Structure 1
Amino acid sequence: MSDAATMPAPAQATAGRTPLLSVRGVKTYYGNIIALKGVDLDVHEGEIVTMIGANGAGKSTLMMTIFGNPRCRQGTITYGGRDITQMPTHEIARLGIAQSPEGRRIFPRMTVFENLQMGASIKDFTHFDEDLERVCTMFPRLKERLNQRGGTLSGGEQQMLAIARALMSRPRLLLLDEPSLGLAPLVVKQIFNVIRELNERDGMTVFLVEQNAYHALKLAHRGYVMVTGSITLQGTGKELLENPQVRAAYLEGGAH
């Protein structure tokens, strides 16, 4: 493959730089059951980093742990050089991290416009009109449905809304949890194109958790593979796409 030749610069020179997000030795439990078994990973400014793995591997638990719910019992999470391990979720959001969670979790009884207002309220409304125009340009379907209740949207439109709501807070780091789950291929393509555009045009840093390994690794600068709460492989997106273990497990009729 020749993807590496056209890969944006941030993927090529992370050695020696302080990561924007750093996870070290993180262990998370549900009761007495350990879900994350000492996870280490880095996300550098300007990168798209993906984590792939089978359903139940712990990917979403890691995403939620970064955001403070649940809390890790051991290890540290730093963002922009600041320890956020024990910080309340609302304070983490104000630091410039936004999350589009698994299952979308929009406010179904609120209109699309009101959902977007909720996203903007994390910071302030200084740039609301500008940001509203921006997300409606990215997702024209939302512009047509601004006065429609979120719960009446299609699954693809709800996913667009979840991402747009996250973007309304002008994040420095965007966490995306399973954005393609249950969506039609055309909608998946559109959403991945938006993620690429956010990174290439705006320089947004993205940490993406995704079961669709092929699309995620094609998009990402770097990737990690999680198996039952542990990181088992890491490398560039290109390296992982060509890795025999990854191909066998995630790309050739294995877990998706």
Structure 2
Amino acid sequence: MSDTLTVTPPATAPLAPRSDEPMLSVRGVKTFYGNIMALKGVDVDVYKGEIVTLIGSNGAGKSTLMMTIFGQPRPREGTIVYEGRDITKVPTHEIAQLKIAQSPEGRRIFPRMTVFENLQMGAAVDGFAHFDEDLQKVFTLFPRLKERITQRGGTLSGGEQQMLAIGRALMSRPRLLMLDEPSLGLAPLIVRQIFDAIRELNRTEGLTVFLVEQNAFHALKLAHRGYVLVNGLVTLSGQGKELLERPEVRAAYLEGGAH
């Protein structure tokens, strides 16, 4: 899409401080749909305090990796370790209790519930312990949601639904926020607002973010580090700025190739 380069984000994020061990470590993960291998031995690390992005064209396996980390589907081979615990075979609802939150592709909000009720659903994971405080944080981040608080989710615009999906995830007080295609189908101005919010959460609260995106330009500008996924395999990795400057990345994702 030509929209990809119409908005220029701030300079690439500086590298986040690293601990010795990754917060999330994916090793040799192979995931199948029936007899079709969607992930062919993927290795990815996410360190505490980082924004890490996984870019790739449609069908590369990005969303499959995100769903595999969350337990649906399960990998046939490989391991997934989160904060030192092997979660490869842990049920999805238990993974959510470990302070991992996901804003899935397609938003998947509750369309018949109001904005307020959707946010309540997110807070249920944390037992409503900090509900009022967290609600104000979400409204500060996304003022539009406060204006729409009594409106049903299904009547919101696409951008507002994406804000609600991220807000709902944040209400669980995650230590790791996983975002699947947050810019998909949105106008450039809304994309900028979404990415600014992610950057602010990382900068002010140190929130660790794992971001899956087709919009390589915005994702690599935002991220400390990135991975390129092609047909179920990681083909490149490095700092966001480095990947932006790689000619093969520019050709494939930034200059009229696959977005």
**TM-score (normalizing by structure 1):** 0.96
SS in 2 for 1:217: helix
Q: Among 85, 89, 95, which residue is 2:88 paired with?
A: 85
Q: Residues 3-34 of structure 1: CA distance to partner in whole angstroms, max 9, x if unpaired?
A: 57x71542xx56xx100000000000001100
1:228 positional shift: 0.5
* 1:22 and 2:29 aligned: no
2:39 corresponds to: 36
1:216 corresponds to: 219
SS in 2 for 1:146: coil
1:147 corresponds to: 150
Whether the 8 Å CA contact 2:81–2:87 is kept in 1: the answer is yes
SS in 2 for 1:241: helix
Q: Residues 185-228 of structure 1: CA distance to partner in whole angstroms, max 9, x if unpaired?
A: 11000000000000011000000000000000000000000001
1:141 positional shift: 0.6
Q: Among 7, 13, 18, which residue is 2:14 paired with?
A: 7
1:106 corresponds to: 109
RMSD (Å), alpha carbons: 1.2
1:178 corresponds to: 181
| Matched letter for residue 73 of structure 1 | R
Distance 1:65 1:77 in 2: 9
Whether the 8 Å CA contact 1:166–1:174 is kept in 2: the answer is yes
Q: Among 198, 207, 211, which residue is 2:210 paired with?
A: 207
Distance 1:173 1:95 in 2: 9
SS in 2 for 1:157: helix
Q: Residues 106-140 of structure 1: CA distance to partner in whole angstroms, max 9, x if unpaired?
A: 00001110100000001211100000011011001
- 5+ residue gaps, structure 2: 1-9
Q: Residues 163-191 of structure 1: CA distance to partner in whole angstroms, max 9, x if unpaired?
A: 00000000000000000000011100000
Distance 1:180 1:207 in 2: 14
* 1:254 and 2:249 aligned: no
**TM-score (normalizing by structure 2):** 0.95
Distance 2:91 2:229 in 1: 26
Distance 2:167 2:24 in 1: 22
* 1:164 and 2:171 aligned: no
Distance 1:3 1:147 in 2: 37
2:234 corresponds to: 231
Distance 1:50 1:114 in 2: 30
| Matched letter for residue 37 of structure 1 | K
Q: Among 71, 74, 84, which residue is 2:74 paired with?
A: 71
- 5+ residue gaps, structure 1: none
Runs of 4+ in 1 over 3 A off after TM superposition: none
SS in 1 for 2:125: coil
How many percent identity over aligned positions?
77
Whether the 8 Å CA contact 1:8–1:200 is kept in 2: the answer is no
| Matched letter for residue 68 of structure 2 | T
Whether the 8 Å CA contact 2:226–2:237 is kept in 1: the answer is yes
Whether the 8 Å CA contact 1:135–1:164 is kept in 2: the answer is yes
